Amino acid sequence: MKTQLLADEILNTMNLRKRYGIFNNNMMFLLNDDDKALASELQETCIEFDEKIGGISGHNNMNLYDHFSWAGKHGLINRTNDYPHRDDLHIGMKAEIIRQWTMDILNPQLSLALGASVLAINPIAHHNEGRENLRKDLVDLLDGNKIGCICITEPERGSDAVNMTVKAEKADDGFIINGIKCYNTNSPAADIAVVYAVYNTEDPRGTMVQGVSHKAWDKGFRAERIGIPSVPHIQIGKTIFNDAHIPADYVTGDDGKGYEILFEGLVPERIGIAALNVGQMWGAFTIASIYSTLRKQFGEKILLHQAVGMSVLAKYHSRLMAATMALLKLAETYDEKKDELAGLPPTMNPLVAFASQMKEFTSYLYHDLTYELMHAMGGTGVTDQTLMPYYQGVSEIAEVVGGTRNVQLLIGSRTINTMVKMS
């Protein structure tokens, strides 16, 4: 921080152990013993890390990309995919959510950047079919020795992502990609990009491909950072594919298979973003709840002024608890039903709708909650003495990442149509 204004007592009480403690007490009856043991193990690793980087000053000056290998070593990048080279980690959507929330309370931007690498991990984990090169990429990404990004959006194709214009052309070995993608989280810092393109722009569904490109290759991708002031530590890019060759060994979906994979990835991606929104709300809430019980004005803790305690803290606490319970239920449903529902078309698969609904709901709540809690902390809320401004920053982009509210609500409106027809 530039200059400390907070009293030592308040600053010291806002330590990470205390913040995890408040979160854990809220989870007391929502998590089972195994979940709590996992949370506690991951939290201890993060507390050690936080002390090592020097607390808030370390977070303010962080180069996120220096810490991917630390996160990977501790299984803090992903818990939904099996690790080909490790069998000591809990895997599943519930374990992933606990990992996610642990990271969200530690550092919201690091957590988001790791999440974008996971978007490259997911398709490689599911479509490497005995290919050693892809298996190596998967291990490198899970271990955080390489950084990944996903390239779907284009300058002229955002919400209408399926109708992409970036072209693929068949080559003797794999295909060649030409065109520009944009808003790709991590791409300026990334080693590996998972990219989508089409052979025929008139038939994107039937000709969509997906492949893996390496920046280090002669014919790989390159990226230029774009400015997104609300997340100053995350590198988000314009990603350029100029005769980028994807050898057959790195093709994860050809001749329309890319379209299937695009949709297969959207459900875990949107549940993941919803989980991040909820975890980051806990991060913001733990800070504001400590502050409001220690800060006094007019001779009273500000929590006891009804306008702060009831109208803000208690109001958003109740909304956050409701979102948390809903998300945990969705994670359990996903773990139980994903294989059974996998073959259904997106309009018939209830997980597609649940994921969109949860993403839309939590994104708006995250923004609303953070604005209110930040201002319940007065001037302190906007300074660099706590992580609050970083939560506020991520909450600014929560709506647009993974598709805006209208895209999620479009899916929701089609679901209503299907439900009525089915009934």
* Min CB(17)–ligand FAD separation in Å: 31
Assess 152 for contact with ligand FAD (CB under 6 A): yes
Instruction: Single out the residue of 98, 118, 401, 411 in contact with ligand FAD (rule: CB under 6 A).
Output: 401
* Min CB(187)–ligand FAD separation in Å: 8
CB of 104 within 8 A of CB of 276? yes
- Which range of residues in 17-25, 36-44, 78-86, 151-159 is near ligand FAD by CB under 6 A? 151-159
Taking the alpha carbons at both ends of the chain, their separation in whole angstroms is 58
Assess 185 for contact with ligand FAD (CB under 6 A): yes
* β-bridge pairing 167-170 and 175-185: antiparallel
* β-bridge pairing 296-297 and 300-301: antiparallel
Assess 116 for contact with ligand FAD (CB under 6 A): yes
* Closer residue to ligand FAD (CB): 281 or 397: 397
Instruction: Single out the residue of 403, 408, 411, 415 in contact with ligand FAD (rule: CB under 6 A).
Output: 403
In the window 367-386, what residues touch ligand FAD (CB under 6 A)?
Answer: none
Query: What span, in angstroms and rounded, lies between the C-alpha atoms of 180 and 184?
Result: 11
Query: What span, in angstroms and rounded, lies between the C-alpha atoms of 147 and 113?
Result: 9
Instruction: Single out the residue of 117, 153, 235, 356 in contact with ligand FAD (rule: CB under 6 A).
Output: 153
Binding mask 70-109 for ligand FAD (x = CB under 6 A): ----------------------------------------
Q: Running DSSP on this structure, what letter comes out for residue 166? A: -
* Min CB(332)–ligand FAD separation in Å: 27
Assess 183 for contact with ligand FAD (CB under 6 A): yes
Helix (H) or strand (E) holding 194: strand 192-198
Q: For the purposes of burial, counting CB atoms within 10 Å of the CB of 384, is it exposed (0-12), middle (13-18) or buried (19 or more)?
A: middle
* Closer residue to ligand FAD (CB): 18 or 405: 405
Query: What span, in angstroms and rounded, lies between the C-alpha atoms of 45 and 70?
Result: 10
Instruction: Single out the residue of 64, 150, 276, 308 in contact with ligand FAD (rule: CB under 6 A).
Output: 150
Cα–Cα separations (whole angstroms), residue 185 to 75, 89, 160, 402? 21, 26, 19, 11
Partners of residue 301 on adjacent β-strands: 296
Query: What span, in angstroms and rounded, lies between the C-alpha atoms of 174 and 192?
Result: 17
Query: What span, in angstroms and rounded, lies between the C-alpha atoms of 32 and 225?
Result: 42
- Which range of residues in 35-43, 152-160, 279-287, 331-339 is near ligand FAD by CB under 6 A? 152-160
Q: Which of 325, 190, 174, 187 is nearest to 255 (CA)?
A: 174
Instruction: Single out the residue of 98, 397, 398, 411 in contact with ligand FAD (rule: CB under 6 A).
Output: 397
How many Cα atoms within 13 Å fall on the side-chain side of residue 174?
A: 19
Assess 151 for contact with ligand FAD (CB under 6 A): yes
- Which range of residues in 197-205, 206-214, 383-391, 402-410 is near ligand FAD by CB under 6 A? 402-410
Tokens (6 digits) for 328:
């945990």
- H helices, E strands: number in the chain: 16, 10
* Min CB(159)–ligand FAD separation in Å: 3
* Min CB(371)–ligand FAD separation in Å: 18
* Min CB(346)–ligand FAD separation in Å: 16
- Listed in sequence order, the DSSP H helices in 129-252 are 132-143, 204-207
* Closer residue to ligand FAD (CB): 80 or 184: 184
Query: What span, in angstroms and rounded, lies between the C-alpha atoms of 200 and 205?
Result: 9
In the window 226-245, what residues touch ligand FAD (CB under 6 A)?
Answer: 228, 236
> CB nearest ligand FAD: which residue?
158
Assess 404 for contact with ligand FAD (CB under 6 A): yes
- Identify the sign of the CA torsion 403, 357, 92, 15: positive
Assess 277 for contact with ligand FAD (CB under 6 A): no
Assess 159 for contact with ligand FAD (CB under 6 A): yes
* Min CB(345)–ligand FAD separation in Å: 20
Q: Which residues bind ligand FAD (CB under 6 A)?
A: 116, 149-153, 158-159, 183-185, 228, 236, 397, 400-401, 403-404, 406
